Chains A and B, each alone.
Chain A
């Protein structure tokens, strides 16, 4: 069973640039969620994708966007990067569309630094 994999592991960008983070779901999982974890904080929900559509969103501006592909992998795109976007971005996959009874399986994250 292949776990959740994220790439790249680390990334350094300049304020105002755009970034794309990638996530491959665990085998058999059809739902992907993205979380932002700032230093010293708990993860915060960005959005969730199911059947290639966003079906849930947290309190993040529109410059945070995503995609889910037919193979259930996903991308997180952030435009116009700000210094406060520096964080660990975690991808989690699960089975089924919208149930907390579905356990989230997290990847190891992408550490984004904005300078």
Chain B
């Protein structure tokens, strides 16, 4: 079964520091991969997605992610974190649901705290 592991439950960084959030997936074929961000009390906003092609994907808010098939990873990076980046980040893989539709399988999330 498809699964996503986000090894870090909580990460704290200083404003201006670089950031890398880890994501490992389990999927038999070429995966569709996503990173979403969730601010407190809000829904999920898509940061970026990988379907095929260039393994380095650029997203919104200055984020990027790199797909590494050999490591089954899709880590999210940002060179310089802003205080407004404090939120919870979810990695997800596209999968097939019973009935045939596509679904997203999410990791448990990584909570990012940004210190001034």
Contacts and interface: CB of A to CB of B under 8 A. Distances in A.
Interface of A: 4, 33, 35, 40-45, 47-48, 50, 54-58, 90, 92, 97-109
A24 to B, nearest CB: 13
Given A45-B104, A103-B49, A55 B99 contact: yes
A104 B105 CA distance: 13
B98 A57 contact: yes
Contact of A48 (B41, B43, B90, B101): B101
Nearest to B9: A40
Given A101-B51, A103-B46, A55 B101 contact: yes
Interface of B: 4, 32, 36, 41-46, 49, 51, 90, 92, 94, 97-109
A106 B44 contact: yes
B103 A56 contact: yes
A41 B43 CA distance: 14
A104 B46 contact: yes
A55 B43 contact: no
A56 B44 contact: no
Contacts of B105: 45
Given A4-B43, A43-B104, 10 more contacts: A41-B108, A45-B105, A54-B99, A55-B99, A56-B103, A57-B98, A57-B99, A101-B32, A106-B43, A108-B43
